[in-house]
């Protein structure tokens, strides 16, 4: 498994939080992990998500020590919006994303790729984040929220992955409305997906299955 694509049902769900947990957990298994944030929007100065990922990666992989946050991204934009909308000059070329992927893959045993927004977020007019995940031929980890309404978001994202034949697992980031999660959401997950798991409690078990 040379790479793992981390996505979510939408923005501000917990992709970076989950990826940081994965870096730590893979390191405990002796896996030399790398990180890649292909596109980051809402950037004022340094890309904050890429910076956090790189700082964590440097502590477990010396081959990423000499890199800057900009080195682990292919594109950054100042507008906090979907890549297609933030890319006001229409600069994005999928080929550049793949070139950076190949470059960073050589520095690690496993490259963690963090998407932007959710699966159906447009990168270009005709190319979405889910298309990038499929083109990279790697398994996907879907992060879902705990807030009211997340069942619908989770099921739609699962349907998008299944319809494209993408190998995936999914987990819940218990953060928003977590006090009500056990009452308003968990009953359905327990009935329909008895193997569902949460980021903070079950990352280790997920990695054991992967390895």
Catalytic positions, please? 37
Question: CA 7, 9, 14, 19: dihedral to nearest 10 degrees?
Answer: -10
* Nearest-5° Cα angle at 62, 57 to 65: 70
Question: Which among 184, 175, 165 has a CA at the least distance from the CA of 9?
Answer: 175
Task: Give the pair of three-digit tokens for residue 51.
Answer: 């910076």
Question: Which among 41, 209, 24 has a CA at the least distance from the CA of 129?
Answer: 41
Alpha carbon distance 201, 49 (integer Å): 23
């Amino acid at each position: 498994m040379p790479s793992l694509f981390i996505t979510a049902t939408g923005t501000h769900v917990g992709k970076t939080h989950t990826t940081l947990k994965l870096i730590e957990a893979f390191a405990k298994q002796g896996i030399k992990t790398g990180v890649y944030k292909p596109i980051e929007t809402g950037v004022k100065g340094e890309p904050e998500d890429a910076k956090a990922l790189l700082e964590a990666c440097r502590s477990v992989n010396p081959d990423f020590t000499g890199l800057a946050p900009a080195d682990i991204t292919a594109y950054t934009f100042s507008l906090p919006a979907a890549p297609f909308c933030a890319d006001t000059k229409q600069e994005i070329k999928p080929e550049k994303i793949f070139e950076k992927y190949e470059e960073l893959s050589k520095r690690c045993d496993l490259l963690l790729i963090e998407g932007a927004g959710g699966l159906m977020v447009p990168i270009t007019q005709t190319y979405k984040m889910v298309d990038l995940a499929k083109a990279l031929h790697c398994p996907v980890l879907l992060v879902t929220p705990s807030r009211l309404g997340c069942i619908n978001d989770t099921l739609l994202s699962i349907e998008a992955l299944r319809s494209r034949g993408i190998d995936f697992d999914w987990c819940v980031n218990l953060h928003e409305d977590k006090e009500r999660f056990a009452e308003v959401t968990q009953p359905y997950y327990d009935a329909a997906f008895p193997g569902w798991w949460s980021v903070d409690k079950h990352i280790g078990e997920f990695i054991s299955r992967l390895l």
